[in-house]
Amino acid sequence: MTVFRIDCGYRNYDWGKLGSTSAVAKFAASSNPNTKVDESKPYAELWMGTHPSVPSVVVDNGKSLREVIEADPSLVTEPVIKKFGGNVELPFLFKVLSINKALSIQAHPDKSLAKVLHANDPKNYPDDNHKPEMAIALTDFEGFCGFKPLDQLATTLKTIPEFREIIGDDIAEQFINGIDTNATEGSEADKNNRKLLQAVFGKLMHTDEATIQTQAKKLVNRAETNPEALNAIDSRLAELIVRLNKQFPEDVGLFCGCLMLNHCELKAGEAMFLKAKDPHAYISGDIIECMAASDNVVRAGFTPKFKDVDNLVDMLTYSYDPIEKQKMPTTPCDKASGQASKCVVFNPPIDEFAVLQTVLDKQGDKEHFDAFDGPSIIIATNGAGTLKADGQEYPFAQGYVYFIGPNTAYDLVASEAGFTTYRAYA
């Protein structure tokens, strides 16, 4: 058995979309007819994989995917087990997220820092792995991703008095007069830029809550009554501040998120990769997400949860690339052939995973895939079709999820227009 359908669990976090407006709810109900969508509840995350918190279950026998892999480790393969450890875990966790309310502004440690954090504070850092993530938009999506370019931050310090009041004249002037916007990456000027950016961010994050609340009230009032200076920096900024303040009133995230981080918008099919030690947050939309198997999060704002400010300020890379550099390029899939209108790979610069997107526009269109070396999980997000492998045909409706074992060739055939799948693989 190298191909089998799995039923995947979901989470009802309060930031999820309500009822059937959520892609998570629609996919879960389509996959399992016993899932009754409660229109008053938020449906936030669909988990596809071996993570024990929300285990995927094999439809035919009711066993968890972990149990099936434990009984037959060849479904993961020896090279994957040797490289990533364990014999029941996939090296990635695949998800669908439906976001109605901003998630916390956060960053994730790299492997070396994760080992230290886990050893020193296992309660807040439950494992010693890194957690690189990739988000692919299913619908229009908004997020924060990395620090804004330095000239934008300098303008913000010059023109937004509430931000300037928190940072202080000394640090603000050192930043404005000390940055080199023409620095090449890795140069001494670039290193100095990052130190100056760290000084600004560190001062913000160590400011007492009462001061943040006072200045946040003024910032929101400015956004509502006199938005011109804010919108001169970014035409979306005033509206964003007002909207997120309704979700998290007078929160430090209005400054560290709205004023300091890139506000990234993705159209369906576009993606961004979230590197270790770079701050980010999801704001709205439906996405496919793939990540390394870890729960390590260092939070900065828009959250009532634990914020580890000292580690956060120390760990960040303080990269300041523009938005376009945050987006993930695609490459053609060299193992595919056929009639797909789109068959591309999002291949981030890490080993644990890549994601393959396939779109078949017309009924009857077919795409063939040669065997991959490692394990895969594939979900249909639009339309319907069949998956053909090992001489078998498997129905593939929207929301259905399949596990595909290593060294398994297969075909996708569209029975409806716009048949779209995403496949995560090691």
Residues recognised as catalytic: 299
List, as own/partner pairs, every contact residues 363-366 make where C-beta atoms lie below 8 angstroms and the sequence separation is at least 24, other chains included: 363/414, 363/415, 363/416, 363/417, 364/413, 364/414, 365/338, 365/339, 365/340, 365/341, 365/413, 365/414, 365/419, 366/338, 366/339, 366/411, 366/412, 366/413, 366/414
Torsion of CA 8, 12, 15, 18, to 10 degrees: 90
Q: At what angle do helices 188-205 and 150-159 cross, to 10 degrees?
A: 40
Contacts of 95 (CB under 8 A, 6+ apart): 45, 46, 47, 48, 288, 289, 290, 291
Give CA–CA dist 45/43, Å, rounded: 6
Query: Is 133 annotated as ligand-binding?
Result: yes
Query: Is 174 annotated as ligand-binding?
Result: no
CA distances to 98, 280, 281 from 213, rounded to whole Å, are 29, 22, 21
Query: Is 198 annotated as ligand-binding?
Result: no
* Helix (DSSP H) and strand (DSSP E) numbers for the chain: 14, 25
Query: Is 108 annotated as ligand-binding?
Result: yes
Token pair 């634990």 is found at 306
Tokens representing 176 are: 């404005």
Q: At what angle do helices 209-225 and 237-247 cross, to 10 degrees?
A: 130
Give CA–CA dist 2/233, Å, rounded: 53
- Nearest 5°: CA angle at 377, between 371 and 378? 90
Give CA–CA dist 175/195, Å, rounded: 9
Beta bridge partners of 392: 389
* 8 A C-beta contact, residue 426 and residue 94: no
Binding-site members for Zn(2+) are 106, 108, 133, 280
Binding-site members are 106, 108, 133, 280
